[in-house]
Amino acid sequence: MIAEHPVIQILIPLLGAPLCVLTGRGVLAYWLALACSLASLFVATRLLATVMATGPIVYELGGWAAPWGIEYRIGPLNSFVLLLVALLGAMVMLAAKKSVESEIPGDRRHFFYAAMLLCQTGLLGITITGDAFNVFVFLEIAALSSYVLIAMGHQRRALYASYQYLIMGTIGSTFILISIGLLYQMTGTLNMADLAARLPAVGDTRTVLVSFAFFMVGVSLKMALFPLHMWLPNAYTYAPSIVSAFLASTATKVAVYVMIRFLFSIYGPAFAFDRIGVSQILGSLALVGIVIMSAAAIFQNNVKRLLAYSSVAQIGYIVLGISFASENGLTGGIVHLFNHGLMKGALFLVVAAVVYRVGSSDLNAFRGLGRAMPVTMFLFVLGGLGMIGVPLTVGFISKWYLILAAIETGHWLAVALVLLSSLLAVIYVWRVVEFAYFQPRDRDSDPVGEAPLSMLVPTAILVLATIVFGINTEWTVGVARAAAVFLLGGHA
């Protein structure tokens, strides 16, 4: 049965989406989407366990062997990312019911859940496949469904934000497609492993260089690497809260995964790092992004937007880790990819709960919530500590490895800037804490109750995970290190 798991992973949400449309306006669509998300989480857990125990899994679609057919190839890195996507998909879906009922009109809810499942399909598909063109196809599934999801936000500006994302996202995907096309032209193959084997022979041609340039710009747009992040703050701010929580914790991370996969297992570190010197570009963009975006987050008056800017900064940490191209750097980058997904998911779910109770994600709406919604705000504080990188949280672990890698390679400026940005994170997290705990609610405003249990429980699970993995790092760092070793060994 485990042999079929790779395809079942994709099939569950793919089949769930049309079924959600068929169930119509009732509440059934939600339970179906939830069942699919939980099943998908179960499959992802088993895949990761199998990969860690017995090595990579390969699945040939349609019975056609690679490189002719499409193959799913699951190694330590992508099973880790699969788990992140499936876990966040399930937790966000657990919390979704009430929030969606208050933010999405009744005649659109079943479409909303269908789009959520399609988005999951796309993100899981990008991660699982071993075929470069298949990456693009799933990239489009994920992107198109996320444009729809963002446009469903209840403010009119959601449409504008979605359109902005659509333009930037389409440029990104087109660039990636052009790059894959050029690679195909030079090698005649689309299978990643086969590409890696054939590329060194033609690595000196201008076509491959151009394809590399297109790929890097395209994927940087997709993952919102500074300064190509302009679409992200609006998209996360105006999307329905549940969508912000899901996309912020998974979509950009999957794009980072695509970059890692292409850099290390298609172009190869020898080409990308030694010949092109992508380290300098990625590293400096990441560092500038970390500092400027953390600083920008301080000046935001909307908590969703604040978290969105902080997301761009956190993407910088991940990219910084990758740019070192060393074992510790990659481990830090990959583990932060996972950890940041957990933290951002939790923080955005807290905001979703606040929007559900208070009706706004404005900083002013947070006044006095420390008293009115004590559990919710406590979870925010714990998640915020993670963002800062306080010891005993996952944020500390990722930064530890990043700084370790920076010291190893003698990048003292990187060490200083990472520490500086942690201080900036203290300020932006503190701003929310100050409003929540030290400012009274307006006397004439309606009383606010604690968030519903259905939203608290998944948030608490994520926050708990950030602390558990912050204390017992054996599992997350173990998997990330296995992935890093695997990548540096030149494997998929």
Partner 1 sequence: MRHHSILRAVTKFFLPYILLFGLYTQFHGDYGPGGGFQAGVIFAAAIVLYGLIFTPRIARKVIPYRAVYIFMSLGILLYAGVGVATLFMGGNYLDYNALNHHHPVHGQHLGILLVELGVGITVAAVVICIYYAFADRLES
Q: Which range touches partner 1 (CB under 8 A), out of 12-20, 129-137, 323-331, 367-375?
A: 12-20
Nearest to 315 by CA among 228, 400, 397: 228
Residues 146-165 contacting partner 1, CB under 8 A: none
Spell out the long-range contacts of 468-476 with Cβ–Cβ below 8 A and sequence spacing 24 or more. 469/339, 469/342, 469/394, 469/397, 470/386, 470/391, 470/392, 470/393, 470/394, 470/395, 470/396, 470/397, 471/392, 473/397, 476/335, 476/338, 476/339, 476/394, 476/397
Stretch in the footprint of partner 1 (CB under 8 A) among 19-27, 93-101, 308-316, 386-394 = 19-27
Per the DSSP assignment, residues forming a β-bridge with 324 are: none
Min separation Cβ 60 and partner 1, Å: 6
State which H helix or E strand residue 57 sits in.
Answer: strand 57-60
User: Are 125 and 10 spatial neighbours (Cβ–Cβ below 8 Å)?
Assistant: yes
One residue of 63, 440, 447, 449 binding partner 1 per CB under 8 A:
63
**Phi/psi of residue 59, nearest 5 degrees:** -130, 130
Nearer to partner 1 by Cβ, of 148 and 272: the residue is 148
Please report whether residue 60 would count as binding partner 1 according to CB under 8 A: yes
Provide the minimum distance between the beta carbon of 73 and partner 1 in the complex, in angstroms, as a whole number: 14
Radius of gyration of the chain (CA): 21
d(CA 302, CA 428): 11
Nearer to partner 1, 110 or 261 (CB): 110
What Å distances lie between residue 406 and 150, 153, 179, 320, 415, CA to CA?
A: 37, 41, 31, 9, 6
Region binding partner 1 by CB under 8 A among candidate stretches 60-68, 180-188, 337-345, 348-356? 60-68
Q: Which of 2, 4, 406, 425 binds partner 1 (CB under 8 A)?
A: 4
In single-letter form, the type of residue at position 182 comes to L
Q: Does 21 bind partner 1 (CB under 8 A)?
A: yes
Q: What angle do CA 34, 37, 43 make, to 5 degrees?
A: 140
- Beta-carbon count within 10 A of 205 CB: 14
Q: How far is the CB of 135 from partner 1 (least distance, A)?
A: 18
Could you tell me which stretch among 33-41, 58-66, 257-265, 352-360 binds partner 1 (CB under 8 A)? 58-66
When the beta carbons of 121 and 300 are compared against partner 1, the nearer one is 121
Question: Which lies closer to partner 1 via its Cβ, residue 14 or residue 337?
Answer: 14
331 and 485 Cβ atoms separated by less than 8 Å = no
**Residue 57: CB partners within 8 Å, gap ≥ 6?**
2, 3, 5, 6, 47, 50, 51, 72, 73, 74
The CB-of-284 to partner 1 minimum distance in angstroms stands at 44
Tell me if residue 84 falls in helix, strand or coil: helix
Residue 5 or residue 340: which is nearer to partner 1 going by CB?
A: 5
Q: Is residue 59 a contact point for partner 1 (CB under 8 A)?
A: yes
Using CB under 8 A as the criterion, what x/- string covers residues 301-340 for binding partner 1? ----------------------------------------
User: Nearer Cβ to partner 1, position 6 or 218?
Assistant: 6
DSSP state of 62: G
Q: Is 14 in the site for partner 1 (CB under 8 A)?
A: yes
From the CB of 85, what's the least distance to partner 1, in Å? 20
Q: Is 7 in the site for partner 1 (CB under 8 A)?
A: yes
User: Is residue 19 involved in binding partner 1 (CB under 8 A)?
Assistant: yes
Q: Which stretch binds partner 1 (CB under 8 A): 53-61, 209-217, 407-415, 469-477?
A: 53-61
Determine how β-strand 71-74 pairs with β-strand 57-60. Answer: antiparallel
Among 53, 54, 62, 440, binds partner 1 (CB under 8 A): 62
- Nearest approach in angstroms of CB 382 to partner 1 is 41
Note whether 106 binds partner 1 by CB under 8 A: no
The residue within the footprint of partner 1, chosen from 5, 17, 224, 264 (CB under 8 A), is 17
Binding piece for partner 1, criterion CB under 8 A, among 39-47, 59-67, 214-222, 319-327: 59-67
Count of beta carbons in the 10 Å neighbourhood of residue 56: 16
How near is the Cβ of 29 to partner 1 at its closest, in Å? 12
Give the residues lining the site for partner 1 (CB under 8 A).
Answer: 4, 7, 11, 14-15, 17-19, 21-22, 59-63
